[in-house]
Every structure is written in structure tokens, then in C-alpha cells.
Amino acid sequence: MTASQNAGKKVYIETFGCQMNKSDSEHMLGLLDEVGFSKTDDIKSADLMILNTCAIREGAEDKVYSYLGAWARYKQKRPGSLIAVGGCVAQDAGSQLIDRMPYVDLVFGTHNFHRLPELIEQVQDTGKPLVEIAQTLPDDLPDTPVVRLNDISAWVSIIYGCDYNCTYCIVPYVRGREKSRSIDSIVQEVSELTAINYKEVTLLGQNVTAYGHDLDPKINLGHLLRALGEIPNMGRIRFLTGHPRDLSIDIIDAVKEVPQACEYFHIPIQAGDNRTLRRMARGYNIDFYKRKVDEIRSRMPDAAITSDLIVGFPGETEEEFMNTIRLVEEIGFDACNTAAYSPRNHTPAANWPDQIPEFEKGERLRFLNAVVSEVSHKCNQRYLGTSQEILVEGKSGRSERLTGRTRTNKIVNFEGPDVLIGQLVNVSITAANPWALRGALKIEAELCH
């Protein structure tokens, strides 16, 4: 495909799901940019519309069908425009997407999006819909070009797929086996980012704490953090999502010792009950998880610990649900993503007989959310009166305030001049709610001059 063939053409992309999907979308934009497509935020002017989908829960999947219904009308109004569907729903549903929505031109999966330009070209040349799903990633992971949507903080995928088989989760089915990128290619990518002044990188994986176990020689996330810490002008380093079982002391020590690594651990526990954890096949029990929390807090008392929680897993009793509530209070999570269990194709728990009724799941979720927000509020109040280093990311919503994050990933809003966007500043914390902090900029000597 030549760039001139598509010169002046526009691509619109919508991304659902996790940060890995968001990162994949940035690489899709990079690949398409090389062949002449520039990004637009106006779907009406798009020659190519891409939906990068998520299959984690039924709600996310339903959204795909309602979006595509609306996109069909845009396509009608702009003859020659194309609709492509990628990501986890596409990987699972494949040609069924076109059977159900014949106006879709291309379905591609999670393992072959680096071939997007040639797949688009094929559709352009033949005028026929195309479905291309691969079952594995290529042996040699290509380093794909990228158009980053944020110029302060960058996503960097370091490991793809997941080798666990949690009984509720579709991710291993749609993302395949774990495959780590080489440390050299990650260090190279991050060095390029720091050279163009990126202030933060977030290392991504469905199980980022398993990084390196499949490489020869075998390494771990701790090695990678230490290597990244050596890069000149390296800004903050974060990583998502960790599995408690793979969060070794080595990794925790590296976070403590590498100054740029942020004291922020997202280690989903999913449930606070041992029987539920066993039936989820999580591979740890509550005591194990609490030991991990102790290992973190004994080294970094101010570290933030966040989690994901599922309520209404099949067979979860009221008492077992209350164990989750008690655990949230006992650990004192800084924040939690919560969800009602959603039965997924290709997962064992979806076929278990003891499904919890929707209204009961809804009630448990509301109760859990209330407790999580109370617990987060308490954590946030601990910041009152402290001084925090904030990376300023932009404006807060439509307000004139600036917004940024602490090293522990707390959102902080405060008054200040736009020139601070992209800078590290110190802010005194003056107010705390469950989701964010308010602060006042500390006037630094150099700003007064």
C-alpha cells in the first residue's frame, strides 16, 4: 500500500476496554499514518472508522453492536468509507460480526493488527468484506510505529496475553498465551520517549508482573525497572496490571530502589473469600494476598494499593460476599474497580448452575461501591496537609483548574498557569474526596523569578 493512495484520508478510532487496547489503538494509528491516513476526532469526516472492542463483560460487548449500528449511518452518508472492527470481541466473534452487520468491511483480531494496512488495502482492492483472525502472535514481535494520543505520559506494552485461567475470564481466550517483548526493544522505546521529553511511562500487560519468565535468559519485571531507571532523564515509571502471585519481593524491592518507579501497586484480589478465590482459580488465598500487602507496606509505608473486585460470582453466598466487604475495609484499598460478575463465552463459570440473579448482583455491587468509596475517602484524607509531587497532565474537565497525579496515582486538581502542563510541581493538599484531591500550588523559587 502506498501512502499516496490514501493521501488526505482520515481515520477515526474508538477504543473500549483496558489500557492495552488503548495502546494497541495508538499503534494502529501509527501503522495507518505510514500509509497516508491521518487521525480525525470527527467521525463524519472519516474515510475509515475503527472500533477496537472489549469483551470483558456483556455490557462492553453490547456497546459494540449499538455503536456499529450508529456507524452504519455515517458510512451511508460518506460513500467509499469503511468500517473495521478489531480487538477482543472481533477476536472472539470473527465472521459472526459480518453475518450480523453486513456493513462491516473488515474484522481483524488482537494478534494481527500489525497487518492492518495490508488488510485495508485488500478490502479497498476487492471491495469485499474481509475477516482475518490469527490464533497466535507472530514469533518475532514487530516494533510497530505509533501515534501517541498523550504527549506527557506514554503506554508501553511489555507482555501480551495471559497464562492464567481464571474461571470467569475471557482474556486468555482472546489474547492468547503470555509473550514478553525483549528487554532491549523496551529500553529502546522508552529511551526514545524520554529523548522527546515524555515524563511518564506506564508498562502494560494483562499480567505485567509475569514479565520476562518466557525470555531466554529468564528475567523479571524488577530487572526491567532497574534497566529503565538507568535511562538518562527517565521520568516516572508505572506498571499495570499485576497478578498477586507473580508480585515477587524482587519486583517490590525494585520499585523501592529505582527512584523513578512509582509507589503504586494495582494488584487485583477479585474477592475477599477463600472458597470464592479457589473457585475463581486465582491461585492464592487471603493470607497470601495480605502477606504481599505487608511486603509492600513494610518497605514503602505510603505506597498506594488498588484492586479489582467481582461480586456475584456464581455460588457466592451472602456470607462470602461480606468477607469481600470486610477485606476491603481491613486492607484499606486506595481505590478499586468493581464489577458484577458477567458470564462470558469460553469460560467455565458461565456454565455453572448456581448463577446469582441480576438484581442480587446489583445490590451487592451498590453496597460494595459505597464501602469502597468510604475506604478510598479515608485513604485520601491521609494526604491532607501533605506536600505532593504532581505531574501536571492538563485541565480538569471544563474547569480552569489544572489536573495531575501524585506518584501514588491520586488525581489532584489545583489552580495554576497552563505553562505548568507537562511539568512536575509540588502541591499542598487542601481537600480530599473519595476520587480526587484538591490542592494549592507551592510557589517554587524559580517560578517567582
**Binding residues for ligand F3S, per CB under 6 A?**
17-18, 20-21, 54-56, 87-88, 170-171, 174-175, 206
Q: Which is nearer to ligand SF4, 172 or 312 (CB)?
A: 172
- Using CB under 6 A, which residues numbered 88 to 107 contact ligand SAH? none
Q: In whole angstroms, what is the distance from residue 190 CA to residue 155 CA?
A: 10
User: Is the Cβ–Cβ distance between 405 and 235 less than 8 Å?
Assistant: no
| Among 94-102, 162-170, 180-188, 370-378, the segment contacting ligand SAH (CB under 6 A) | 162-170
Given ligand F3S, ligand SF4, ligand SAH, none, residue 310, with its beta carbon under 5 to 8 Å by kind, binds ligand SAH
Task: Tell me the closest approach of the beta carbon of residue 395 to ligand SAH, in angstroms.
Answer: 29
User: Is the Cβ–Cβ distance between 118 and 1 less than 8 Å?
Assistant: yes
Q: What is the largest CA-CA distance in the chain?
A: 70
Q: Where are the alpha helices (DSSP H) in 258-351?
A: 274-280, 286-299, 318-331
Give me the half-sphere count of Cα atoms (radius 13 Å) on the Cβ side of residue 216.
0
Task: Tell me the closest approach of the beta carbon of residue 145 to ligand F3S, in angstroms.
Answer: 21
What CA dihedral angle connects 348, 350, 355 and 359, to 10 degrees?
Answer: 150
Task: Tell me the closest approach of the beta carbon of residue 35 to ligand SAH, in angstroms.
Answer: 32
Q: In whole angstroms, what is the distance from residue 146 CA to residue 198 CA?
A: 14
Strands 436-441 and 159-160: unpaired
Given ligand F3S, ligand SF4, ligand SAH, none, residue 23, with its beta carbon under 5 to 8 Å by kind, binds none
Q: Which is nearer to ligand SAH, 207 or 260 (CB)?
A: 207
For residue 241, say if its preceding peptide bond is cis, omega within 30 degrees of 0. yes
Task: Tell me the closest approach of the beta carbon of residue 270 to ligand SF4, in angstroms.
Answer: 7
The only residue of 207, 209, 220, 276 in contact with ligand SAH, by rule CB under 6 A = 207
For ligand SF4, what does the binding mask look like between residues 191 and 210, x meaning CB under 6 A? ---------------xx---
Residue 81 grid coordinates: 468509507
For ligand SAH, what does the binding mask look like between residues 244 and 273, x meaning CB under 6 A? ------------------------x-x---
Backbone φ, ψ for residue 427 (5° rounding): -130, 135
The secondary structure of 158-170 as a DSSP string is -EES-----TT--
DSSP-derived letter for residue 385 is: T
Given ligand SAH, ligand F3S, ligand SF4, none, residue 172, with its beta carbon under 5 to 8 Å by kind, binds ligand SF4
Q: Which residues pair with 318 in a beta bridge?
A: none
The only residue of 166, 225, 258, 335 in contact with ligand SF4, by rule CB under 6 A = 166
Residue 341 near ligand SAH by CB under 6 A = yes
The only residue of 110, 342, 388, 408 in contact with ligand SAH, by rule CB under 6 A = 342
| Among 169-177, 182-190, 231-239, 381-389, the segment contacting ligand SF4 (CB under 6 A) | 169-177
Given ligand F3S, ligand SAH, ligand SF4, none, residue 21, with its beta carbon under 5 to 8 Å by kind, binds ligand F3S
Q: In whole angstroms, what is the distance from residue 193 CA to residue 154 CA?
A: 8
Backbone φ, ψ for residue 232 (5° rounding): -60, 140
Residue ranges with strand state E in 205-303: 236-240, 264-266
Residue 169 near ligand SF4 by CB under 6 A = yes
Task: Tell me the closest approach of the beta carbon of residue 54 to ligand F3S, in angstroms.
Answer: 3
Given ligand SF4, ligand SAH, ligand F3S, none, residue 372, with its beta carbon under 5 to 8 Å by kind, binds none
| Among 7-15, 159-167, 212-220, 349-357, the segment contacting ligand SF4 (CB under 6 A) | 159-167
Q: Which is nearer to ligand F3S, 55 or 201 (CB)?
A: 55
Question: Hey, CA dihedral for 183, 187, 160, 27, is it positive or negative?
Answer: negative
Tell me the C-alpha to C-alpha distance, in Å, between residue 1 and each of 101, 118, 125, 422.
27, 7, 10, 37
Backbone φ, ψ for residue 157 (5° rounding): -75, 130
**Count of Cβ atoms closer than 10 Å to residue 449 Cβ:** 5
- Using CB under 6 A, which residues numbered 52 to 81 contact ligand SF4? none
Which of 379, 370, 374 minimizes the C-alpha distance to 411? 379
- The footprint of ligand SAH (CB under 6 A) covers 56-57, 162, 168-169, 171, 206-207, 241, 243, 268, 270, 308, 310, 339, 341-342, 344
Sites of contact with ligand SF4 (CB under 6 A): 162, 164-166, 169, 171-172, 206-207, 243
